[in-house]
């Protein structure tokens, strides 16, 4: 797997609460330079990022119901639609972990379905964050089922703000149990080229990381992206 192919899987990410407009400006320029898949930023910064990128087709991704997933579904829908109007074309929503843990499977499904439907109606794609570190294997499978039935585009492992990030075992599990039209995004703790490629080989097609520049620079320097193959 060459460096350019790896770069094209990376959502170049800054989601810290103290991130600034200067951070976003740097992020956008780095994403354009390295040809990353997108920039992933807070909703507050979406309109600014759209201005910064100008006519460049760099996709803007933002997070909804972040990081807990505990917002009302109507709030998530509104936030997603407003972000799309401001320039986002990819929406990473946090599913309602509390609904799943409470046995409210119908409400969990409705939460994902309603956001997915609204996002698709506005021509954007949706990735559903399930926060794998908080789930049992049985709960992960229930999330796979809900995400697939709701018609979401991706299932995503983690916010990066909980007790753990992506693992190879979880990526393999999600890839095995979501439908063929659902892709897997691995996020959280991906900081080097070998880990990034391992996640791709495990079944991820998108990576969320704030270490994108270091990852592709490492790959160019030592060829570590060639260690693992598809």
Query: All domains of the chain, ordered by start, with CATH?
Result: 3-226 (3.20.20.70)
Q: Which residues are marked as active site?
A: 92, 156, 185
C-alpha pair distances (Å), 106 with each of 37, 130, 168, 218? 33, 16, 29, 45
Q: How far apart are CA 94 and CA 174, in angstroms?
A: 16
Which residues, other chains included, contact 102 with Cβ-Cβ below 8 Å and sequence gap of 6+? Answer: none
Give me the pLDDT at residue 221, please. Answer: 73
Give me the pLDDT at residue 215, please. Answer: 96
C-alpha pair distances (Å), 81 with each of 9, 55, 98, 125, 220? 25, 21, 23, 12, 38
Give me the pLDDT at residue 109, please. Answer: 98
Tell whether pTM > 0.85.
yes
Give me the pLDDT at residue 222, please. Answer: 64
Burial of 117 (0-12, 13-18, 19+ CB in 10 A): middle
Q: What is the DSSP string of 32-59?
A: HHHT-SEEEE-GGGHHHHHHHHTT----
Q: How far apart are CA 178 and CA 203, in angstroms?
A: 11
Give me the pLDDT at residue 2, please. Answer: 80
Give me the pLDDT at residue 229, please. Answer: 38
Q: What is the mean pLDDT of each run of 10 residues along the chain (230 residues)?
A: 89 97 98 98 98 98 98 98 98 98 98 98 98 98 98 98 97 98 98 96 98 91 49
**Sequence-ordered alpha helix ranges (H) in the chain:** 3-7, 21-34, 46-53, 73-85, 97-101, 105-121, 137-150, 168-177, 193-202, 212-222
Three-class SS of 191-203: CCHHHHHHHHHHC
Q: Is the dihedral of CA 20, 22, 25, 26 positive or negative?
A: negative
């Amino acid at each position: 797997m060459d460096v350019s192919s790896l770069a094209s899987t990376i959502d170049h990410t800054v989601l810290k609460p103290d991130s600034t407009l200067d951070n976003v400006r740097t992020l956008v320029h780095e994403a354009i330079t390295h040809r990353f898949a997108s920039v992933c930023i807070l909703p507050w910064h979406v309109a600014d990022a759209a201005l910064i990128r100008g006519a460049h087709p760099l996709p803007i991704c933002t997070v909804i119901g972040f990081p807990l997933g505990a917002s009302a579904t109507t709030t998530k829908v509104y936030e997603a639609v407003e972000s799309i109007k401001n320039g986002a074309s990819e929406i990473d929503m946090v599913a309602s972990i509390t609904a799943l843990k409470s046995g409210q499977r119908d409400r969990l499904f409705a939460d994902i379905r309603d956001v997915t439907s609204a996002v698709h109606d506005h021509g954007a794609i949706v990735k559903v964050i399930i926060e794998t570190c908080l789930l049992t294997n049985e709960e992960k499978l229930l999330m796979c089922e809900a995400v697939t039935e709701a018609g979401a585009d991706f299932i995503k492992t983690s916010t990066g703000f909980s007790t753990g990030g992506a693992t190879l075992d979880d990526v393999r599990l999600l890839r095995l149990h979501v439908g063929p039209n659902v892709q897997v995004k691995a996020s959280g703790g991906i900081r080097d080229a070998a880990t990034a490629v391992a996640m791709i080989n495990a079944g991820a097609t998108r990576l969320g990381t704030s270490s994108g520049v270091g990852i592709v620079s490492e790959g160019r320097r030592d060829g570590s992206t060639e260690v693992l193959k598809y």
